[in-house]
Amino acid sequence: MNDVYTADEILMAAASPANPTPDQDERHKQLHLPIPKDEEKAGIIEQAEKAISAAIIQLLTRQPFFGQLLCSLRQVPTWDMPTMGVDGINLFYNPSFVNVLAKPERRGVLCHEVMHLAYRHIQRKRQRKDKLWNCACDYAVNAIIKDELEMPLPEWVLYRQDFKDMASEEIYRKLQDEKQKGKKGKKGKGDKQNGKGDG
């Protein structure tokens, strides 16, 4: 796992019961955010900087804990990631992504990013699989943002009500179980089609 914890795993498409950990590349495609021309980048970055600053000011009033955490991060625009990411020092963001978010959603996404730091998700990962751990952390964080803080997030986030009040480690185990059951189900269907099913 790299040292940057990104929002890539949550901000792309809603997961379904059949696919609790949707593929990151598939979700990226749904954003439809082309890299702008060089002469357009400065204006897009300026717009994003103002939007982030306004969101942080609002959070300092409404959610000062998150606002203070965001103030401690250096803002770094980049076109190398589709959404946002943090590493404990920097807040990396795709300016085009920031600009397409509604104001309330922007505040929610910023809170999402610093919650990964507050909950020390990078340090708690240990030997767990990157993708599954990222999804588990995102489910946990988004449940807090939506259900406890009652802040809006984009409709495509990873969110399940049955994961409310659960730690990332517990969600990870449940996702593991679901993936295993899904594999067994697919295997069973395939065997039956080949005349090798149990039934």
Identify the residue whose tokens are 């990964």. Answer: 116
Three-state SS for 7?
A: coil
SS3 at position 194: coil
pLDDT tens digits, one per residue of 36-55? 899 999 999 999 999 999 99
Q: What percentage of the chain reaches a pLDDT higher than 70?
A: 76
d(CA 199, CA 197): 5
Segments of the chain scoring below 50 in pLDDT: 1-3, 5-18, 191-199
Residue in this structure with the two tokens 């060089």, named with its chain if needed: 38
β-bridge partners, 77: 93
Q: What is the pTM of this model?
A: 0.77
Residue type for 87, please?
D
Describe the strand order of the beta sheet including 5-6 as a list of residue ranges: 5-6, 84-86, 90-93, 74-77
Specify the length of the chain in residues: 199
What pLDDT is stored for residue 16 in this prediction?
Answer: 43
Question: What pLDDT score does 193 carry?
Answer: 44
∠ Cα 159 164 169 (to 5°): 90
The confidence score (pLDDT) of residue 116 equals 94
The two tokens of residue 196 are 């090798």
Residue ranges of alpha helices (H) inside 63-129 are: 64-71, 95-100, 103-118, 121-124
